[in-house]
C-alpha cells in the first residue's frame, strides 16, 4: 500500500461520487494559480462536508481557516437556503482569493469571509453574546487548536457539531516525544476532547489524495 494507490483510489471515488460538482473545481484551480498552497480538503472530503451539513440541518456554520474557500463552498452548498457560513482567514491574500472564488461559484449570499486572526474575531463574537453555531469546522493553525476548542465551545449549544481537520498527521498523533508544535497542538486538542464531559467525540484516519491524516467529529451534548 502506498500513496500512489491512495491517490488512484481517490481519483476513482471522485469520478464516481463527485463528478457532478465540477463547478467547484475552478476554486482549486484559481487558488493554485494565485499561488496559494494546495492544502485544501480533497473533493471527496469536500462532498463529505456537504453531506454532513445536510444531515445535521445546520444553518449557522463557522469555519476557522478559509484558504481559497474550497471547503467553505462545499459547506455552503449543503446549507438550507436561509443559512450562512462565516469563515475566518488571517491572510489578506487568501481572503481576497476566497471572496472572488465564492463569488464566481455564486455562493456569496451564503458566505461571509472575515479577514482576521481567528482568536481575535472569536473573542469578539463571544463578547457580543448572541451568536451560536450549529456546525464548526476547525482547519487553521494547528498549535492553536486547543485554544480554538475552548472558544468554539463558548459559541456552541447542545447539538453543535465540531469537526477538526489534520489531527492524525501521518501518525504523529501518537508520537509522545514529538517536538513539532503542530503535532503537540493536535495531541492536546484530542486529550482535551477526551477529558471533557458534555462533548462526545470520535475520529477517523484517512488516506488519499492528501496523504495520511484524519479528523475528529464531536457533538456537544451539554455545556
Residue 13 dihedral angles phi and psi, to the nearest 5°: -60, -40
Closest CA to 88 of 71, 103, 105: 71
For residue 220, give the C-alpha cell: 456537544
Q: Is 209 in the site for ligand DHB (CB under 6 A)?
A: no
- For residue 221, the minimal CB distance to ligand DHB (Å) is 27
Say whether 140 sits in a helix, a strand or coil. coil
Say whether 203 sits in a helix, a strand or coil. strand
Closer to ligand SAH by Cβ: residue 111 or 158: 111
Q: Is 139 in the site for ligand DHB (CB under 6 A)?
A: yes
- β-pair partners for 115: 89
- Residue 205 CB: number of other CB atoms within 10 A? 12
Stretch that binds ligand SAH, among 9-17, 35-43, 189-197, 210-218 (CB under 6 A): 35-43
**Sheet-wide strand order for 199-208:** 111-115, 84-89, 60-64, 135-138, 161-165, 211-220, 199-208
Pick the binder of ligand DHB from 10, 89, 134, 165 (CB under 6 A).
165
Per the CB < 8 A criterion, the answer to whether 148 and 62 are in contact is no
Closer to ligand SAH by Cβ: residue 66 or 187: 66
- For residue 95, the minimal CB distance to ligand DHB (Å) is 16
Q: Is 39 in the site for ligand DHB (CB under 6 A)?
A: yes
Q: Is 166 in the site for Mg ion (CB under 5 A)?
A: yes
CA distance 25 to 43: 9
Pick the binder of ligand SAH from 59, 117, 147, 217 (CB under 6 A).
117
Q: Looking at beta carbons, which residue is closest to ligand DHB?
A: 39
Q: Is 89 in the site for ligand DHB (CB under 6 A)?
A: no
- For residue 17, the minimal CB distance to Mg ion (Å) is 20
Q: Is 66 in the site for ligand DHB (CB under 6 A)?
A: no
* Residue 70, phi-psi category: left (phi > 0), alpha (psi -120 to 50), beta (remainder): alpha
CA distance 210 to 70: 14
Q: Of 121-160, which residues contact Mg ion (CB under 5 A)?
A: 139
Q: Is 218 in the site for ligand DHB (CB under 6 A)?
A: no
Question: Which residues of this protein are in contact with ligand SAH, per CB under 6 A?
Answer: 39-41, 65-67, 70-71, 88-91, 94, 117-118, 139-141, 144
Amino acid at each position: 500500500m502506498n500513496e500512489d494507490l491512495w491517490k488512484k483510489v481517490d481519483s476513482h471515488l471522485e469520478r464516481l461520487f463527485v463528478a457532478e460538482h465540477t463547478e467547484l473545481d475552478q476554486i482549486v484551480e484559481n487558488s493554485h494559480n494565485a499561488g496559494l498552497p494546495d492544502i485544501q480538503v480533497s473533493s471527496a472530503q469536500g462532498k463529505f462536508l456537504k453531506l454532513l451539513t445536510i444531515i445535521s440541518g445546520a444553518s449557522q456554520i463557522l469555519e476557522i481557516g478559509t484558504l481559497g474557500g474550497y471547503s467553505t463552498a462545499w459547506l455552503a452548498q449543503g446549507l438550507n437556503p436561509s443559512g450562512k457560513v462565516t469563515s475566518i482567514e488571517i491572510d489578506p491574500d487568501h481572503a481576497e482569493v476566497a471572496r472572488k472564488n465564492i463569488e464566481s461559484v455564486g455562493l456569496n449570499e451564503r458566505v461571509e469571509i472575515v479577514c482576521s486572526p481567528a482568536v481575535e474575531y472569536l473573542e469578539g463574537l463571544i463578547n457580543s453574546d448572541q451568536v451560536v453555531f450549529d456546525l464548526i469546522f476547525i482547519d487553521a493553525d494547528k498549535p492553536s487548536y486547543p485554544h480554538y476548542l475552548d472558544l468554539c465551545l463558548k459559541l456552541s449549544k447542545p447539538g453543535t457539531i465540531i469537526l477538526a481537520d489534520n489531527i492524525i498527521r501521518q501518525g504523529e498523533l501518537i508520537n509522545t516525544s514529538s517536538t513539532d508544535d503542530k503535532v503537540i497542538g493536535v495531541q492536546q486538542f484530542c486529550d482535551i476532547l477526551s477529558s471533557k464531559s458534555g462533548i462526545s467525540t470520535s475520529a477517523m484516519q484517512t488516506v488519499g489524495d492528501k496523504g495520511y491524516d484524519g479528523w475528529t467529529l464531536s457533538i456537544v451534548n451539554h455545556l
